[in-house]
């Protein structure tokens, strides 16, 4: 069957209602497009859990802050369409911003606890944009399961909290980080990197691997691990640390000892490009 492409909220919602009435399980992979193998791994997960796989492609204006890369965020719909067709996606939902947000749009979904650390601290309002658009996408595509990537670890936790607290009838599946052969976490924003910065960007994964080795060797205290991580990154003078954080993987509260699984998360700016990566320790 041919892949459908829908741009209308109303048509998409009617179609999703029809699929549900027919008893078919819907899986959603929300994306901002410019797809890479990371996204396609999420599509494969959705396929394993659902009969109808929908990929949404929407560069969501309200999760970008003033001065961020909304206008320049990479877009290539024809390439995305081709990748989705090959991946066996059933439907692409790609509304334009006017279709998603009325001129007098005034309702937002806000997570008020987990959103305030990490990317939420340096990008205030970002997660309000994420939770609002994901709530909308859930209501429009009515998924039984929705798949998100662990690379955006905080986003995953915030969305899981939203689903719990608003009782949204969807199962959230988190797919593992997919990496380039040399270890760089796949991201649409990697495209911004010059060849030299592309090599420098490897310090993120190198730093996390150092943390993993220390913990595997028996280290349970965070401070020496954090210092080692920062030391690896500071070997690259062009790499500016936004944050290096170790948090309880569930509550995102800062920890000083590894007792339960700990999320080690990095955000680093290299040549103007903000890169994130993370791993789970312990």
The active-site residue out of 15, 36, 39, 105 is 39
User: Which range in 34-42, 51-59, 159-167, 182-190 contacts its own copies by CB under 8 A?
Assistant: 159-167
**Residue matched to tokens 């990748």:** 83
By the rule CB under 8 A, 104 interacts with its own copies:
yes
By the rule CB under 8 A, 238 interacts with its own copies:
no
CB-wise, 114 or 244, nearer to its own copies? 114
User: Which range in 24-32, 129-137, 191-199, 200-208 contacts its own copies by CB under 8 A?
Assistant: 129-137
What gap in Å lies between CA 245 and CA 233, rounded to an integer?
Answer: 13
CB of 56 to its own copies, least distance (A): 12
What gap in Å lies between CA 141 and CA 234, rounded to an integer?
Answer: 44
**H/E run at residue 160:** helix 153-165
Per the structure block, which two tokens stand in for 279?
């791993």
CB-wise, 2 or 106, nearer to its own copies? 106
By the rule CB under 8 A, 9 interacts with its own copies:
yes
By the rule CB under 8 A, 107 interacts with its own copies:
yes
Cα first-last separation, the chain = 45
Please indicate whether residue 39 is annotated as part of the active site: yes
Nearest to 275 by CA among 250, 251, 244: 244
Give 125: exposed, middle or buried? Use CB within 10 Å, 0-12, 13-18, 19+.
middle
Q: Binding its own copies by CB under 8 A: which of 39, 81, 123, 136?
A: 136
Nearest to 254 by CA among 159, 121, 134, 125: 121
CB-wise, 20 or 189, nearer to its own copies? 20
Nearest to 30 by CA among 167, 132, 125, 168: 132
Active site residues: 39
Binding site for its own copies (CB under 8 A): 9, 13, 17, 20-21, 23, 101-102, 104-114, 131-132, 135-136, 139-140, 142, 161-162, 164-169, 251
């Amino acid at each position: 069957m041919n892949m459908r492409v829908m741009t209308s909220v109303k048509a998409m919602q009617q179609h999703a209602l029809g699929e549900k009435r027919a008893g078919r399980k819907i899986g959603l992979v929300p994306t901002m497009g410019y797809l890479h193998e990371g996204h396609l791994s999420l599509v494969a997960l959705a396929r394993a859990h659902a009969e109808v796989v929908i990929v949404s492609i929407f560069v969501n204006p309200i999760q970008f802050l003033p001065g961020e890369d909304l206008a320049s965020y990479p877009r290539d719909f024809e390439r995305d369409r081709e990748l989705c067709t090959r991946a066996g996606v059933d439907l692409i939902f790609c509304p334009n911003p006017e279709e998603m947000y009325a001129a007098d749009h005034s309702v937002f979904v806000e997570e008020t606890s987990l959103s305030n650390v990490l990317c939420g601290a340096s990008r205030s309002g970002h997660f309000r944009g994420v939770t609002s658009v994901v709530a909308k996408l859930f209501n429009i595509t009515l998924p039984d399961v929705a798949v998100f990537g662990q690379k955006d670890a905080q986003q995953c936790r915030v969305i899981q909290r939203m689903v719990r607290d608003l009782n949204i009838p969807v199962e959230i599946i988190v797919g593992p980080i997919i990496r380039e052969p040399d270890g760089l976490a796949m991201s649409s924003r990697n495209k911004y990197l010059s060849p030299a910065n592309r090599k420098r960007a490897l310090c993120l994964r190198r730093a996390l691997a150092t943390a993993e080795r220390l913990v595997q060797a028996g280290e349970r205290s965070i401070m020496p691990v954090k210092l080692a991580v920062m030391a690896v990154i500071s070997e690259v003078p062009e790499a500016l640390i936004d944050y290096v954080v170790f948090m309880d993987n569930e509550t995102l509260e800062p920890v000083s000892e590894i007792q339960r699984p700990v999320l080690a998360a990095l955000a680093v700016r290299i040549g103007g490009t903000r890169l994130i990566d993370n791993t789970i320790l312990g």
